[in-house]
Structure 1
Amino acid sequence: MTALEDAPVPLSAAGNPIGFGRMHRKEDVRFLRGEGNYVDDVQLPGMLYGAILRSPYAHARINGIDTSAAEALPGVKAVITGAVLETLGLAWMPTLSYDTQAVLATDKVRFQGQEVAFVVAESKYIARDALELIDVDYEPLPAVADAKKALDADAPVIRDDKEGKTDNHIYDWEAGNKEETDAAFANAEVVVTEDILYPRVHPAPMETCGSVAHMDPTTGKLKLWTTTQAPHAHRTVYALVAGLPEQNIQVISPDIGGGFGNKVPIYPGYVCSIVGSIVTGKPVKWMEDRAENLMSTGFARDYHMKVSIASTREGKIQAVKVDVLADHGAFNGVAQPTKYPAGFFHIFTGSYDYPAAYCNVTAVYTNKAPGGVAYACSFRITEAVYAIERIVDCLAAELKMDSAELRLKNLLRPEQFPYTTPTGWEYDSGDYEKTMRVAMDMAGYDQLRAEQAEKRARGEYMGIGISFFTEGVGAGPRKHMDILGLGMADGCDLRVHPTGKAQVRLSVQSQGQGHETTFAQIVAHELGIPPEDIEVIHGDTDNTPFGLGTYGSRSTPVSGAAAALVARKVRDKARLIAAAALECAPDDLEWELGRWYVKGDPERGRTIQEIAMDAHGALELPEGVEGHLDAQVVYNPPNLTYPYGCYICVVDVDPGTGQVKVRRFIAVDDCGPRINPMIVEGQVHGGLADGIGMALMELIAFDDDGNNLGGSFMDYLLPTAMECPDWELGETVTPSPHHPIGAKGVGESATVGSPAAVVNAVIDAISPFGVRHADMPLTPANVWRAIQGSPVRTDMAVD
């Protein structure tokens, strides 16, 4: 534990910690009262409603579109097609990966559910009815939904809109040292190789995507309420695409019902609502339904990985290599830093100490919706962790060594930090063995293994799975990371009013993480202002500083640092003002939480509230101090932060049916100091449930014609409380040395680490049947197939 956490936490008059500690979320009051304000709650005078006509085909040429019957329907105000957008120069838009994506299809459709036409009407019901009246002349074309087949010479070319494009290849990218890795494998005593699929899954947030656009014809200002995790980045992209002055665009992201990366991209529906408002002169609302969300918005994973690991017979890992085939769908819409087209996948070396590593990633187009969103992971680290944690378990099986023993033998040691990985990333701090020992002690690991042996003797199949992961979060510094040329640095403004109340303005956007509480606590910890007296403002580009938004666990590692630093700037300014009020030199003052006082005379001091009034009053201020008590910063992180953890999952498997019951789940996370442990635990709970879902049931599947088989919650299964055990949470605390408060971030850790723990547990349970690996999702049918020695099916949503 750190001294920060050992110190007693002072409480405000409301009983809340003035600083770090458990505190009920400030924002929950309005949510519990049903007073949240979401995009679909926005109602404007004269507002119209939009609906999108989507392609029933995965691949088809468009020979013509007849909109006359739809336009004649009473209540329809406009029908917009790709041809209309071409006249405005808006038929295609840039993606976050320097690709282009059709807003509305013009030449052909490239995935089932692609946007073809947009209807604007007086009600959403009329708009939906009008879709049925649009006649599109489709010429079906061969489709390819298999990433491996997409590279075949005779595969249909999906992106023939690109000049000279004759195949479906997007890029090849590599990291590490191939020669050193090959040499390590050539000299290894033991080599294990496995083909591992991380199938396509969907974030499936409670709230679907939508927007309300109002282009005011009088002022020329565009006001857009939208479900985005990155309001400022969206505003800049709209300005670049539409040619509108950026100061004339206001993007408002109100309360968001979950994002998980799904609400990072700009979707065609957002652009269509803007065009609809321009065409009609009225505000236009577009909200997708659940089927549209599952069919057409950003997916994740879809990585085919061939993973090899080399070791000695005693289990010392010497090298790892991975060949990846990444399915990016019909448009490369991956939200990645520009220098890293495969994201941070090359942190695939994980938490282990070995000298050589190499990965190669090949990305391809397929007739699927654009994939690759940073779904509750920092740019492909979830796939990387899954690959390494599965292959380590395969190695343990090959060596007939306990999987915990193998990991302990290879984990990085505290004295190795800061540690540079074989692929060039610098981990900031860690005590990995301590964290794993805590998890094993909580689980009663030795007793679990004894129980497992007893059950196997009785013909019962219990499995114990371990996952140890290292995440890389924060998305910075800007010299290394940008998206579309926008550097990943975040602004933060702080203003203390004359009465001592405060406002902190953020560039990150909450989707349920508790920002209004967490950031108030950070400022409270630095200034001593009670958190209930601090208003946190976010989600409005007219009222917040520029930043790249929330994804990749950026909030605390980047904007949390900015909030701490801006509060310290205010505290330093307050010192100068207090010195003037107390008629002493600034160096004669000492700080205690909430006040500056004279050294040796603690009774002579000024509270931060008194200083705020002085700053706005008649006090003669020192030279160079202009008055008011405020500050602003732009935080450019020097490095990522690297949270980590050890998860242990215990399952029971019925070999007759393949049914898996998750009996216990122990999660020990190290995210540095915890600002609000209650919020951390809540995020871990959600991520663990997410991991169980991906491991056991979630799958967006496609048939050979590219038809989406996971377009509803009848087909795309999500975990409920029935599938989740009572989580057993633990912690260790290793602060990040370069972060102002040592915090590392935790929002995505549980989703990163949990799928491997669940799969490892299931494979451990059925290993007596000779099973070493089976791909997710491990549905009962797939577990049964693996036991029977039959291929696991990953082309069926539910079976």
Structure 2
Amino acid sequence: MTRKEDARFVRGRGTYVDDVRLPGTLHAAVLRSPLAHARITAIDTRAAEAHPKVRVVITGAVLADRGLAWMPTLSGDVQAVLATDKVRFQGQEVAFVIADDPYSARDALALVDVDYDPLPPVVDARTALDPDAPVIRDDREGRRDNHIFDWEAGDAAATDRVFAGAAVVVAQDVLYPRVHPAPLETCAVIADHDVVTGKLTVWATTQAPHAHRTLLATITGIPEHRIRVVSPDVGGGFGNKVPIYPAYVCAVAGSMLTGRPVKWTEDRSENLMATTFARDYHMHGEIASTVDGKILALRVRVLADHGAFNGTAQPSKYPAGFFHIVTGSYDLEAAHCSVTGVYTNKAPGGVAYACSFRVAEASFLVERLVDLLALELDVDPAELRMRNLLRPEQFPYTCSTGWEYDSGDYPRALALLLETAGYRELRAEQARRRELGEHLGIGLSFFTEAVGAGPRKHMDIVGLGMADGAELRVHPTGKAVLRISVQSQGQGHETTFAQIVAHELGIGPDDVDVVHGDTDATPFGLGTYGSRSTPVSGAAASMAARKVRERARIVASAMLEVSPDDLEWSPGRWSVRGDPTAGKSITEIAAAAHSDLDLPDGVEGQLDASCVYNPPNLTFPFGAYLCVVEVDPGTGQVVVRRFVAVDDCGVRINPSIVEGQVHGGLADGIGVALMELIAFDPDGNHLGGSFMDYLLPTAVDCPSWELAETVTPSPHHPLGAKGIGECATVGSPAAVVNAVMDALRPFGVRHADMPLTPAAVWRAIQGRPLRGDLAID
């Protein structure tokens, strides 16, 4: 089935926030700090306010008078809406100018005079905890350092014992650099406060409309039932559009001050400089094994750079994210991971960028360590993985950090990968080409994802439990409307969720409309990120449809004058058991449910139902990837020649959408591995403010993807589905880096940090690697 929503998108008929036009709308621009760390000694807005088209200039002092100076982040930290005492990263919001048109608002930014007293910045997480390091969050009472949290998972003592007795131990420092989601559509907001009704309507590019409504109510004091958040078509999110940003709060304040709608649309430089980043983890990993390659244990230490405010979008009980899955896909005796989070003078980081809360970082580290162990033991990396992968009979499997993997046949996925790629032939070709002085690299990775954030007894964001709702109504003509709490940013929700209802009720997907992105028209839920849509909200839709089906059975029994127990279901029809000709279709039942049909006592008419789905566990999709690269040692240029991906996401609802998600994730992985980097100079200046500096992969950089799949249903999901949206982003960077390192083996290169740009590869060959997290030497 092709995607239902594409008809409007390919014709340019989508409606994004910037397309929304309200009468009397004013336009806003944000004044941002040019410095990474500085005291604010004065802000003079008089010249800007004198501009003939400027309506109001909002500063931190103005917000403070209204109790709006600070806002909560998704981690439970607090962040300045507009800087008052000092700025803490380059690009931080200092003032908000509202004018008659966007050009005048931009022009007036230059008229706001801010006096800064520069302070020394902290741009390297490795120095953030030095005793003499400047304290960034000195606004917090009692704060004397840049420490945020310490967190650990696993059994440290047991892990240390295994390492003490291990015959082989391999260790490596690994940087997962700071990268940016860079969605096609930047952030935007329109706030419209009605002074008569007290109703606040906010159009925003958000992945989580209901969470935004709750946060806006908390920040502004406006009762939540008087706030409506609308998230229309969203041009990509990847985690970047989960948080509330200061400009959203300023737009609300501006509408309250002016009595008119206020619109703000971010430009690309602002998006790259100041919206939430991801990764930026310094990781030290150790892997222990026997001499014959049985992996015994993993030990990991992590230093997490969360920027100037801890804006991490992840379950609050796990401030370091899901490093509990650091065991990867292997059967280990013990594992331990410790994480320290620190503040630095960078934009707030820690967004769940196209991965479920740090799984990408953990998977990358594990797969690099496995390749390094294979190098140490002189064992083929595919063989080493096959020896250590979890076996089907071990599921459900409780890993060394306490999480229960639901299902999987890992050896079958790896075997299919090797067969599809022609692994033996590739290795033979590599040997021949090395004799000719050519540098072909073959890289493998195997990953296990943890998606579908929930159950809520384990996971919440700012106190909101991670469950999701669905509401289904079948009209008298048999057509259905499904209302869901997750929000699409291109994943095809209008198609996938229609197919779920159609599957359960036996009607056509075109007869199901899916409503999302409007808090006044949908049930409460925590939104789309962490690959939650199908594992959580998809399950809610399925369960709601089953409730409707059971209600239809009662109605059909009254129509057929038989006991409900005498009916059996076939797609779209309840029939009398033993007599399939005596039955009623869903369409007939829907009409009768709205008629004067005499129903049993206590049974209501109409066909509708709702469900709030609290998942009993995460789901655990997995996959095996292989990448083939060619490296030019003279220039350091890396060319990806082939990429073969085997994914298992449980039951596939729409294979074409699954493949599209995998294609995007694989391209993303190539970008992260080879070119993407948000870098800073020693003064905290942001060095990637445009797509001239922050490189994204294009079709030229990507091969023709070769995809295959296995299907291992999740035993606890109503449909057996596990989720796919972030798998390829998790698994692909390690495959690419392992391939490049394999190509560089003749030069004695053991490891080089991402991104493996031509300069980085060339310098690794020369034995002079770059410093890792800085783009300058």
Give the TM-score category using the shorter length.
over 0.9
Letter in 1 for 2:318: Y
1:494 aligns with: 472
Query: Contact 2:572–2:585 at 8 Å: present in 1 too?
Result: yes
Letter in 2 for 1:95: T
Which of 650, 653, 672 is the matching residue for 2:650? 672
- Partner Cα distance (2:359, 2:717) in 1: 21
Query: Contact 1:701–1:794 at 8 Å: present in 2 too?
Result: no
- Partner Cα distance (1:140, 1:666) in 2: 51
Which of 222, 225, 228 is the matching residue for 1:250? 228
Matches within 5 A, 1:600-619: 600-619=578-597
Deviation at 1:599, TM superposition (A): 1.2
1:316 aligns with: 294
2:701 aligns with: 723
* CA offset digits 1:40-96 (Å, max 9, x no partner): 001000000011000000000000100000000011000000000000111011111
Letter in 2 for 1:135: D
TM-score normalised by length of structure 2: 0.99
TM-score normalised by length of structure 1: 0.97
- Partner Cα distance (2:234, 2:630) in 1: 37
Matches within 5 A, 1:482-521: 482-521=460-499
Query: Contact 2:175–2:772 at 8 Å: present in 1 too?
Result: no
- Partner Cα distance (1:299, 1:351) in 2: 27
Letter in 2 for 1:619: L
1:40 aligns with: 18
Say whether 1:66 aligns with 2:44. Answer: yes
1:564 aligns with: 542
2:408 aligns with: 430
* CA offset digits 1:119-169 (Å, max 9, x no partner): 010000000001000000111110010000111111110000001111101
1:464 aligns with: 442
2:113 aligns with: 135
Deviation at 1:242, TM superposition (A): 1.1
- Partner Cα distance (2:500, 2:321) in 1: 30
2:751 aligns with: 773
In terms of mean alpha carbon deviation, does 660-669 or 786-795 score higher? 786-795
Matches within 5 A, 1:375-390: 375-390=353-368
- SS at 2:744's partner residue? helix
Which of 246, 250, 272 is the matching residue for 1:294? 272
Query: Contact 1:716–1:797 at 8 Å: present in 2 too?
Result: no
2:150 aligns with: 172
Query: Contact 2:177–2:773 at 8 Å: present in 1 too?
Result: no
Say whether 1:230 aligns with 2:174. Answer: no
Task: Please list every run of 5 or more consecutive structure 2 residues that lacks an aligned counterpart in the other structure.
Answer: none
Deviation at 1:798, TM superposition (A): 8.8
> Aligned-residue CA RMSD in angstroms?
0.8
- SS at 2:574's partner residue? strand
Query: Contact 2:485–2:523 at 8 Å: present in 1 too?
Result: yes
Task: Please list every run of 5 or more consecutive structure 1 residues that lacks an aligned counterpart in the other structure.
Answer: 1-22
1:406 aligns with: 384
- SS at 1:722's partner residue? helix
* CA offset digits 1:371-429 (Å, max 9, x no partner): 00000000000000000000100110011110001000100000000000000000000
Matches within 5 A, 1:638-717: 638-717=616-695
Do the aligned partners of residues 450 and 387 (structure 1) sit closer, same or farther apart at CA in structure 2, a change above 3 Å counting? same
- Partner Cα distance (2:134, 2:144) in 1: 9
- Partner Cα distance (1:134, 1:242) in 2: 26
Letter in 2 for 1:773: H
1:477 aligns with: 455
- Partner Cα distance (2:775, 2:208) in 1: 31
Query: Contact 1:90–1:241 at 8 Å: present in 2 too?
Result: yes
Query: Contact 1:615–1:628 at 8 Å: present in 2 too?
Result: yes
Letter in 1 for 2:91: G
Deviation at 1:529, TM superposition (A): 1.4
- Partner Cα distance (2:212, 2:775) in 1: 33
2:398 aligns with: 420
- Partner Cα distance (2:773, 2:103) in 1: 35
1:7 aligns with: none
Which of 731, 734, 742 is the matching residue for 1:764? 742
- Partner Cα distance (2:775, 2:212) in 1: 33
Deviation at 1:307, TM superposition (A): 0.4
- SS at 1:143's partner residue? coil
* CA offset digits 1:316-363 (Å, max 9, x no partner): 011100000000000000011111001111201000001110010000
1:198 aligns with: 176
Deviation at 1:792, TM superposition (A): 2.3
- Partner Cα distance (2:627, 2:683) in 1: 38
Letter in 2 for 1:420: T
Deviation at 1:795, TM superposition (A): 4.5
Letter in 1 for 2:324: H
- Partner Cα distance (1:364, 1:451) in 2: 47
Say whether 1:358 aligns with 2:343. Answer: no
- Partner Cα distance (2:22, 2:601) in 1: 49
- Partner Cα distance (2:297, 2:434) in 1: 34
Letter in 1 for 2:108: A
* CA offset digits 1:517-552 (Å, max 9, x no partner): 000000000001110010000000000000000000
Deviation at 1:794, TM superposition (A): 3.2
- Partner Cα distance (1:199, 1:33) in 2: 38
Say whether 1:791 aligns with 2:750. Answer: no
Query: Contact 1:715–1:798 at 8 Å: present in 2 too?
Result: no
- Partner Cα distance (2:511, 2:108) in 1: 51
2:719 aligns with: 741
- Partner Cα distance (2:235, 2:611) in 1: 29
Query: Contact 2:192–2:261 at 8 Å: present in 1 too?
Result: yes
- Partner Cα distance (1:322, 1:221) in 2: 50
1:306 aligns with: 284
